[in-house]
Structure 1
């Protein structure tokens, strides 16, 4: 009896897996850049008259289906869906970038100090961050949005509180492992101050995983912002925002007006997918050891 040698398809082999991962990363990067470009060009396109003012209603408001005059149609209030979708990406990026900056400013320094100093300070901060981390992110953001009110900065603050513990834990765990390295001990033996050790010897070595966290948290922040807008707690009323537009379009959906829900929801979905693919690709590129361990574990199974 002869046996035919079984060959693993190329896309399932190690090289094929790497190529597929690289392709998905490029797709995610391309999708993300498209939304960045659209957000930057939206005001220019409005100034040149290529798109309408997203906050200006038509003279005779009526819901029109997609056409040459209105590519994505109009809402029942007479707003152009295409222009609101473009400016919705701008609002999303504004909130995401601000929330990320606030999370970095809060989580990274606390993680560095906590991991390096240790002791009671580390235990207190670890308990506080774990307590915040156990709370559901959307529920925490909704509660904070009630307190701080609407607006781009307020929405960013409401989102960032739930992300600070993630940056803290990643930076703190890296700091605990790196501070025992010989180059850190040598700097301490030479009399380097705590600030010098943190800024010159630890910061650049523990910050490598932050880009991955940014892309993954950005995807989650877009969904959370959409949830806040859907509940009427995100940006001020009338400002182009995908969640708010979905909420306004719900009543029109049973009457067959599908375009007012399709395009804001599709925009949100594509942006989240792009950021998620980019985040996973960055994780494999920045942390190749994890990729190798995952492959070896799958091969053993």
Structure 2
């Protein structure tokens, strides 16, 4: 008995015969997994002696170029740049995951309720979300960071507010198109409550595009966190963070100290590129029309 292509799971078929975007998605997935691995195991590597404590600097020479002892060199305070770069992935992932989960947790239910119930509630929420959406994300995050202060959770809250309207708008539009389907009308005719319809019939139909938004927002959140750190509004100074390290490094760049700027900036760039490629590939996987266009 042979299995036809139609019987294969859609993702396996997509992975077996990927388009260019599919191949780039796999590259982005590999890049993202590398950073997740480094962030998760950085404390283990520190205990093994492979990484130095990123908060220790007194015993290190200042502004030493890359050597066998300090692979990425040292900073103006004597920090080991390699250890700071690896541990910076940990802080970035913590803030990014918290920020995107918070915005998704708020935006998805609001979009479903607004699109399904409609009426005055829909108009009020739509006006509120459009008002937030018109503000530049970095400017809004900077303003909120002034209010909530520094810290991983505070930075995540400041960043997450800007992403709520994106989840809301996409889920609301999908809900409006799905709620007119026959099975929704049948459930209403049988007396199903709004909660049952939203949770059982609508949720799994409108949630398909959320992973795409999640990955793209994650990439953007890394840049926003870097901006907050560069302005001194992100994480505490003793927490390794790429944006803050770049701020400290730029002061020495005109004197030829290039390594303290290159490696944190390169790590941030690679992580953003990996998440962006992953998000674009997921977008093609979710939308069959894009797959057909890319195969032509």
Settle same-fold status: TM greater than 0.5. yes
Please report how far the alpha carbon of residue 101 of structure 1 lies from its aligned counterpart in structure 2 after TM superposition. Answer: 1.2
Q: How does 1:18-33 map to 2 (within 5 A)?
A: 18-33=18-33
Per-residue CA shift, 1:226-277, capped at 9, x if unaligned? 0000000000112100000000001111111100000000000000000000
Match of residue 54 from structure 1: 54
Per-residue CA shift, 1:104-155, capped at 9, x if unaligned? 1110110010000000100110000000000000000000000000000000
Alignment RMSD: 1.4
Please report how far the alpha carbon of residue 48 of structure 1 lies from its aligned counterpart in structure 2 after TM superposition. Answer: 1.3
Match of residue 64 from structure 1: 64
Q: Distance in 2 between matches of 1:99 and 1:77?
A: 31
Please report how far the alpha carbon of residue 295 of structure 1 lies from its aligned counterpart in structure 2 after TM superposition. Answer: 5.5
The alignment status of 1:209 with 2:192, answered yes or no, reads: no
Match of residue 7 from structure 1: none
Confirm or deny: 8 A CA contact 2:66 2:259 kept in the other structure. Answer: yes
> Could you state the TM-score of these two structures normalised by the residue count of structure 2?
0.92
Q: Distance in 2 between matches of 1:140 and 1:181?
A: 38
SS at match of 1:224: helix
Match of residue 37 from structure 2: 37
Match of residue 133 from structure 2: 133
Match of residue 14 from structure 1: none
Match of residue 229 from structure 1: 229
> Could you state the TM-score of these two structures normalised by the residue count of structure 1?
0.91
Q: Which one is further off, 17-26 or 146-155?
A: 17-26
Confirm or deny: 8 A CA contact 2:242 2:264 kept in the other structure. Answer: yes
Q: Which runs of 5+ in 1 are unaligned?
A: 1-16
Please report how far the alpha carbon of residue 58 of structure 1 lies from its aligned counterpart in structure 2 after TM superposition. Answer: 3.1
Match of residue 122 from structure 1: 122
Match of residue 13 from structure 2: none
SS at match of 2:55: coil
Provide the aligned length of Structure 1 versus Structure 2: 280
Match of residue 173 from structure 1: 173
Please report how far the alpha carbon of residue 62 of structure 1 lies from its aligned counterpart in structure 2 after TM superposition. Answer: 1.3
Match of residue 5 from structure 1: none
The runs of at least 4 consecutive aligned structure 1 residues that moved more than 3 Å come to none
Q: Which runs of 5+ in 2 are unaligned?
A: 1-16
Larger RCO (alpha carbons 8 Å, 6+ apart): 2
